[in-house]
Structure 1
Amino acid sequence: MVRTLLVRGLLLGLLAGLIAGGFAFAFGEPRVDAAIALEEAAAAQAEASEPVAEAGHSHGEEAEVSRPAQKAGLFLATGLYGLAVGGVFALVFAGLRGRVGPRSDGRLALAAAGTAFTAMILVPFVKYPANPPAVGDPATINSRTLLYVVMIVIGLAATAAAVTTARRVLSDPWLRWIATAAAFLVPVVAAWWLLPTVSEVPDGFPATLLWEFRLTSLGTQLVFWTAFGVLFGWISDRAARRTAAPASAVASG
């Protein structure tokens, strides 16, 4: 059964990744192009005013990978992302199945996908939203990546604490919901408050472009997890019904 779930997760993850790639290509790439145009215009202005000084990096002729190649590679990246996430999700789903969450495979898949999106995407996004190419100091990329990973770990740990609390507090439904929400929100809000803020948006960068890029980035992840959760749940429910049908036929016979 685990092998079947793993293959299902890999294939559906790849499909959901390509769907998300299509969304990112249609809505995200125009914002990336606009951000790169701003960056190169600022670099050209700096070169004109101070020819001797070092200019900013370029995404044009001097770029190692051209923009057309980057756009084509977008689907490769989202497809590989879908494969990796789909495989891990399938293994986690196999461990949760019948033990935690809804008993229906379809509902469990949707609940797990929504939880994963919240813990791994939404929680770090609130503190460290994505930035377009023209935003961010290359010298701080390692520290920014580390902070983002820390937020993902905190989101996953808070989710595990919430699930554990929900299983232990069974006496009162309202008490269970309050305790579960507190177990998740307390560490997450504490991390949002205590971790350092990263603010590297240059003066004069269009606020509309910045937030359109960030919302598109979040939307790409939302499209992926929605598509993957729906597809995985639908296929899992169909497979469960096919498995249950022969068993009921034998029992009735």
Structure 2
Amino acid sequence: MNSVTVRNLLVRGMLAGLAAGLPALVTAYLLGEPHVDAAIAFEEAHSHAHGDEVEVVSRAMQSTAGLATGILVYGVALGGIAALVFCFLLGRIGRFSTRATAALLAAGALLVYLVPFLKYPANPPAVGDPDTIGQRTALYFLMMLLGILLAVGATLLGRRLAPRLGNWYATVAGGAAFVVAIGIAYAFLPAYDNVPHGFPGTLLWQFRLSTLAVQLVLWTAFGLVFGHLAERVVPARQEAPAVEEAAPVAS
């Protein structure tokens, strides 16, 4: 794949990330922000601090312009990274079309998010000990890195087993190995669940599900949009490069 194609895909990946950020923004605003407001109300009702603190950024600004800037910039940045990963994967993970490769990439990105999320889910305001935020952040990214490495390892394992077991059973074996390894990591890594007394459990899980919904919408939209844009750039012969065989010598 030449540099011009890579550059074109990078630009289209960033555009797809921006486009995917729009429905993700709507999802975050409609589903997530009401739960954030409820968590803030709980925190203020149970806080012993005085109300004379100066608010640097208003809540209205945070929930509108701040939210939009954060999600759209996030979408553009991840779209560019995903496009570069797409350039590496195309033609190397099997005879998949451009759109199918984009869909697999989006599913893999969602999995990368889901692995640490299940161990260290997002918390709304008033949940979590501020003294442990550094440790929790480090563990979250460690779990994300482990998920990426174990996913790569499971893919390599499946490819090595494919000649003996067939594609289906090799895929099942690789997926099972990935799940077992992730389960072991979950068991050994520490857990942090500092939920204050009286905080509504329903609100906590509604907030966490809303954050998961934002990621689901973001990567689903990205896979669809980027697959469409990339298909116009990538030549058909690069989607699944065939191995050239020597022509038989005429006798």
TM-score under structure 1 length normalisation: 0.86
Unaligned stretches of 5+ residues in structure 1? 47-54, 246-253
In the TM superposition, residue 95 of structure 1 has moved relative to its aligned partner by 0.6
One-letter identity of the residue aligned with 1:142: G
One-letter identity of the residue aligned with 1:22: V
Partner of 2:46, secondary structure, is helix
Identity of aligned residues (%): 50
Given that 2:8 and 2:233 are in contact with CA atoms closer than 8 Å, whether structure 1 keeps it comes out as: no
Give the structure 1 partner of residue 22 of structure 2.
18
Give the structure 1 partner of residue 189 of structure 2.
195
Give the structure 1 partner of residue 84 of structure 2.
91
- Partners of 1:232 and 1:195 lie apart in 2 by 36
In the TM superposition, residue 199 of structure 1 has moved relative to its aligned partner by 1.1
Equivalent residue for 1:166, pick from 152, 158, 161: 158
Please tell me whether residue 35 in structure 1 is matched to residue 27 in structure 2.
no
In the TM superposition, residue 175 of structure 1 has moved relative to its aligned partner by 3.1
Partner of 1:170, secondary structure, is helix
Which fold has the larger relative contact order, with Cα–Cα distance below 8 Å and residues 6 or more apart in sequence?
A: 2
Which stretches of structure 1, 4 residues or longer, exceed 6 Å deviation after superposition?
Answer: none
In the TM superposition, residue 239 of structure 1 has moved relative to its aligned partner by 4.2
Equivalent residue for 1:132, pick from 119, 124, 142: 124
Query: Structure 1 stretch 170-179 or stretch 227-236: which is displaced more?
Result: 170-179
In the TM superposition, residue 100 of structure 1 has moved relative to its aligned partner by 1.1
One-letter identity of the residue aligned with 1:226: T
Query: Structure 1 stretch 104-113 or stretch 94-103: which is displaced more?
Result: 94-103
Equivalent residue for 2:231, pick from 212, 234, 237: 237
Equivalent residue for 2:145, pick from 133, 153, 164: 153
Given that 1:158 and 1:185 are in contact with CA atoms closer than 8 Å, whether structure 2 keeps it comes out as: no
In the TM superposition, residue 84 of structure 1 has moved relative to its aligned partner by 1.0
One-letter identity of the residue aligned with 1:138: P
- Partners of 2:32 and 2:90 lie apart in 1 by 36
Given that 1:13 and 1:228 are in contact with CA atoms closer than 8 Å, whether structure 2 keeps it comes out as: yes
Please tell me whether residue 225 in structure 1 is matched to residue 229 in structure 2.
no
One-letter identity of the residue aligned with 1:117: L
Given that 1:102 and 1:108 are in contact with CA atoms closer than 8 Å, whether structure 2 keeps it comes out as: no
In the TM superposition, residue 166 of structure 1 has moved relative to its aligned partner by 2.2
Give the structure 2 partner of residue 49 of structure 1.
none
One-letter identity of the residue aligned with 2:6: V
Partner of 1:169, secondary structure, is helix
Equivalent residue for 1:70, pick from 62, 83, 86: 62
One-letter identity of the residue aligned with 2:74: Y
- Partners of 2:26 and 2:140 lie apart in 1 by 25
In the TM superposition, residue 102 of structure 1 has moved relative to its aligned partner by 4.4
Given that 2:14 and 2:80 are in contact with CA atoms closer than 8 Å, whether structure 1 keeps it comes out as: yes
Partner of 1:30, secondary structure, is helix
Unaligned stretches of 5+ residues in structure 2? 238-251
Q: Count matched residues.
A: 230
Please tell me whether residue 179 in structure 1 is matched to residue 183 in structure 2.
no
Query: Structure 1 stretch 173-182 or stretch 133-142: which is displaced more?
Result: 173-182
- Partners of 2:27 and 2:94 lie apart in 1 by 30
In the TM superposition, residue 244 of structure 1 has moved relative to its aligned partner by 5.2
